Structure 1
């Protein structure tokens, strides 16, 4: 049987302890660290699985690591988001956080958020807060939920994967969701990073929508619009994380979310990964109740520091 610890030792860090920027040769060891908590580390493992085939440069960020006696015990993905992965019970966990904070102080803030399991994220932020610019918001209670079985309710048959030719219909819904959730528009024009991200998710089959036409007889009867959407924002380690769940305000309360999410879960478990995860703000009791109705259960807590 494959032993991840042996992989860690074969991809040696020269017997050293401490933190440093890792290289392509270290990616397999980093993925073994992530495998200790697949749900908590999915935002990092999705990048690392890409790096395993195309290299870290192509993955769009740096990989930081902390080793003890030459064995990698914690990692941190430093890209558009800063994603620390310090498995529970990891040796010298506090030293790992100190090392990642030192690397973060040297590099300066380049990320738009720090995100991941709450205890690790908040501990890392407490070390970076004195030297990094102030956070715009700290969301410290975001229930982390998973489902690893068929949904408990019938999927909405009208929820399906977006098609590339529907990009111009999908993009406005994505922008509205992001603006509502984060507080500012991510749009930067054709070819911008957010626009490219949405286009990529559609092309990869990771964008799910229910699209309807306006009511017949109205001036915009031929107009299409999204009335439910969700994306698989991260896929790695056998886990697919759902992000961007949204129903337009005028259609909320119609029961679109639960069967819509059931459709996303069923398709994802069939075609992408056996475990589907998500995280949501603790105050969003309506959304959390909808996820529980589908069959999600809470397994932990995420936190997000927004800049």
Structure 2
């Protein structure tokens, strides 16, 4: 029996079908789900296209194609369909990121035409917690950033991004898109920091948020203050805020080679439940 398959850009009218797939894996898909819940499937509002893979007329898998290329609940057959489409359109993204297994397959298919990558992070543990930290006391000085403090938090955000990704977020457009994203998180009450004498000592953001799960990103401690446990106490504070105000599950993913960060997150109460992969261009 032959199975009819196709890959195409989703229409805005297919929002419910797309959300059903996204919400089947609320932690893994938190980043894309949060965007779709706000923007729908209109490419202009979403900041990219949502590709769908169909078998026998039914939507089975998704792939977000914007600044990132993200396979979502993607079967091996769907990944091949997404890779074919990505080859035809050419690379428009700055990274491929997603659950390790389909992302590995996707990159294997795209590398001959899209490679080489600037960096490959093949195993990034995905960690979650549903509990207020018991072993680490939250830092009482960590709080939400106010809108008037955007100029205070921005240098720390730029330093974190540059250290983590290897390039400055101010390159290209002068940082307009990055600054807009930081301002969006501040305005939404999802940017947190410990500030002393106008200096950011610790910071982190809840970068993605749905009613079922949220994702912490951008964790950073001023290099002068590292090794003092500030990241653990700071993360404990952010987790407490997240569980109280945002979602019942808090997640993050971390580079496997960052042993100190993984140990700190475990002490705060996070456990590993899977893995992501990132391909950076």
Counterpart Cα distance in 2 of 1:99 and 1:190: 35
Measured after TM superposition, the shift of residue 18 of structure 1 is 1.8
Does the CA-based 8 Å contact 1:258-1:291 persist in structure 2?
A: yes
- Moved >3 Å (runs of 4+): 188-191
Q: Secondary structure at the match of 2:113?
A: coil
Structure 1 residues 161 and 296 mapped into 2: Cα distance closer, same or farther (>3 Å)? Answer: same
Counterpart Cα distance in 2 of 1:198 and 1:296: 25
Q: Secondary structure at the match of 2:228?
A: coil
In structure 2, what is the equivalent of residue 7 of structure 1?
none
In structure 2, what is the equivalent of residue 37 of structure 1?
25
Moved more, 20-29 or 240-249: 20-29
Alignment of 1:57 onto 2:39: no
Does the CA-based 8 Å contact 1:82-1:114 persist in structure 2?
A: yes
How do 1:244-255 residues align onto structure 2 when only pairs under 5 Å count?
244-255=218-229
Does the CA-based 8 Å contact 1:161-1:208 persist in structure 2?
A: yes
Mark the runs of 5 or more structure 1 residues left unpaired by the alignment.
Answer: 1-14, 88-92, 214-223
Does the CA-based 8 Å contact 1:209-1:226 persist in structure 2?
A: yes
What are the Cα deviations for residues 237-263 of structure 1, in whole angstroms up to 9, with x where unaligned? 611111100001110011101111011
Counterpart Cα distance in 1 of 2:76 and 2:156: 41
Q: Secondary structure at the match of 1:150?
A: coil
Counterpart Cα distance in 1 of 2:100 and 2:269: 23
What are the Cα deviations for residues 196-220 of structure 1, in whole angstroms up to 9, with x where unaligned? 111111111111100001xxxxxxx
- Identify which of 270, 274, 278 aligns with 1:300: 274
- Greater radius of gyration (CA): 1
In structure 1, what is the equivalent of residue 90 of structure 2?
108
The count of corresponding residues between Structure 1 and Structure 2 is: 277
- Identify which of 133, 152, 171 aligns with 1:169: 152
Alignment of 1:130 onto 2:118: no
> Structure 1 length as normaliser, TM-score?
0.87
Alignment of 1:200 onto 2:184: yes
What are the Cα deviations for residues 29-86 of structure 1, in whole angstroms up to 9, with x where unaligned? 111111221111112212211233x844211110001111122110011111111112
Alignment of 1:158 onto 2:141: yes
> Structure 2 length as normaliser, TM-score?
0.94
Q: Secondary structure at the match of 1:129?
A: helix
Alignment of 1:241 onto 2:215: yes
What are the Cα deviations for residues 109-134 of structure 1, in whole angstroms up to 9, with x where unaligned? 11111111101111111111111142
- Identify which of 57, 60, 67 aligns with 1:73: 60
Measured after TM superposition, the shift of residue 186 of structure 1 is 0.7
Q: Secondary structure at the match of 2:205?
A: strand
Measured after TM superposition, the shift of residue 191 of structure 1 is 6.6
Mark the runs of 5 or more structure 2 residues left unpaired by the alignment.
Answer: none
Counterpart Cα distance in 1 of 2:43 and 2:31: 15
Alignment of 1:97 onto 2:79: yes
Does the CA-based 8 Å contact 2:138-2:234 persist in structure 1?
A: yes
Does the CA-based 8 Å contact 1:44-1:76 persist in structure 2?
A: no
